[in-house]
Amino acid sequence: MYNIKQLIKASLFSTLAIAAASCSSNDNDNPQPIDGEKVYTLGLGVTTTEATTNYVLGTNDLMTGTLSLTNNGLLQTGYRDFLSVGSSFFSIGGLGVTDVNVISLDASGNLTTKSGLTFPNAATDIKDVDGQGKTLLATFASASLVADAKAEFYTVNVASNSITSTKTVTMRSLYPSNTESWLHTGIVVRGTNAFQTFYPIDPATYATNNTDTAYVAVYNYPDFTLQKVIKDVRTGPAGSFGTRSGIFVTESGDVYTVAHNGYGYSKSTKEAGILKIANGTTEFDANYYFNTATATNGGRIVHAMYIGNNKLFAEISTGTQASQWVDGNLKFAIVDLSAKTITAVTNSPTFTGDGGRSFAALYDDGKAYAAATVNGVCNIYQIDVATATATKGAVVGATFVGGIGRVK
């Protein structure tokens, strides 16, 4: 895995500017077509003492055998994070790599790569705006103490594989400070508003000296004019560096912020909890508070994805936080945001996560898929959401899973 300080420094100092142009290629290192009713893609990382190398692997079976990179997979240049959008799998550069590879399945069953999408700065986050697979929103935040440092918002047209709009906001307009900057932890769009969660950090020491308030920047969308920053002292800041699990929006338009004050925080002053911004409003709902630390089956929700019907599929950490950059004692769980309940997943392993990465999980036909490494062996797990039961699947022939998608 990449050193966490490498990742943060990349967000501090990434200033590459490369023009975006779209082209297609068939640079596929996988010699065998992939058959089957369903075809999945996995973003895999192989770490040695010298470096981490990233690949994209295709498969029609996540549950049996070994998912091997031997004579298989598409090599990805540099650091990569991953996003599944419709029938495409986005391999997103970081740590100074600013390009995006869009991977899909052709008519012959081969994985193909479309290149050409390049961001001016490495994306901190990237989201499918409305779940339709047509428009993406990418975010970059420099986390710099420079007075005029900017956060940037890129709108991407998926069909043309190009940036159609770039908007900026001064970092200090969100959090005025000469000694601290902030790190992005999540963003959602609801109608004509965008909501961004963040937390203050000392960029010199990575210390989090102010953890007693949740912060949400509220923008007009799509022009990203900053309306205001709303605050609530019932929880600490939502989300944490790189996990993109700070904020979610439901079908009904309710927005929820998820605070854990665990991974990524040098100290904790509030219990883990969830707050709500009700549909039609841009303020925290004073009548909603979900203390996940004291809830039955509860703990710190470090990684999560929204799976519909007011529910999150999550990895919850319990026990003492070992250190700032360890997301240990994780177990799978289903969180009902409306009912304020947490359901433990039967047969879930207890494991240590992959730190500051987006949640490598897929929700498909009532089942969630995620990876966990136990005793040095990485496996895919299938979680039946209706019964909250996990089944151990295929062994993964890599150090970690950085993303899971379905391209057919």
* 333-384 tens-digit pLDDT: 999 999 999 999 999 999 999 888 889 999 999 999 999 999 999 999 999 9
- Which has more pLDDT, 10 or 318? 318
User: In terms of residue numbers, what domain contains 49?
Assistant: 4-406
**Segment 134-140 mean pLDDT:** 97
The pLDDT of residue 42 is above 60: yes
Separation CA 148–CA 166 (nearest Å) = 17
For the chain, what is the domain count?
A: 1
Which of helix, strand or coil describes residue 174? helix
pLDDT at residue 6 greater than cutoff 60:
no
| DSSP symbols for 100-136 | EEEEEE-TTS-EEEEEEEE-SS--SEEEESSSSSSEE
Phi, psi for residue 182 in degrees, rounded to 5: -145, 160
Average pLDDT score over residue span 219-223: 98
- Name residues whose C-beta falls within 8 Å of residue 34's C-beta, 6 or more positions apart in sequence: 58, 59, 60, 105, 109, 110, 111
Sheet containing 193-201: give its strands across: 181-190, 193-201, 214-220, 226-232
Q: How confident is the model at residue 4 (pLDDT cuts 50, 70, 90)?
A: low
Q: What is the pLDDT of residues 274-324, one digit of tens each?
A: 999 999 999 999 999 999 999 999 999 999 999 999 999 999 999 888 899
Which pair of tokens denotes residue 21?
């142009």
Q: Which is more confident, 214 or 30?
A: 214
Strand order of the β-sheet with 247-249 is 247-249, 255-259, 273-277, 290-291
Compute the mean pLDDT over every residue in the chain, rounded to the nearest whole number: 92
pLDDT value for 145? 86
Altogether, the residues listed in the chain come to a count of: 408
Of 13-22, 26-35, 242-251, the range with the lowest mean pLDDT is 13-22
Mean pLDDT of 390-405: 98
Q: Looking at residue 40, which CATH number applies to its domain?
A: 2.130.10.10
pTM above 0.75, yes or no: yes
For residue 8, name the pLDDT band (cuts at 50, 70, 90).
Answer: low
Quickly state the pLDDT bin for 38 (edges 50, 70, 90). Answer: very high
The dihedrals phi and psi of 110, each to the nearest 5 degrees, come to: -100, 140
Task: Give the tens place of pLDDT for each residue, 141-167.
Answer: 977 888 889 999 999 999 999 999 999
Please say if the pLDDT value at position 14 is more than 80: no
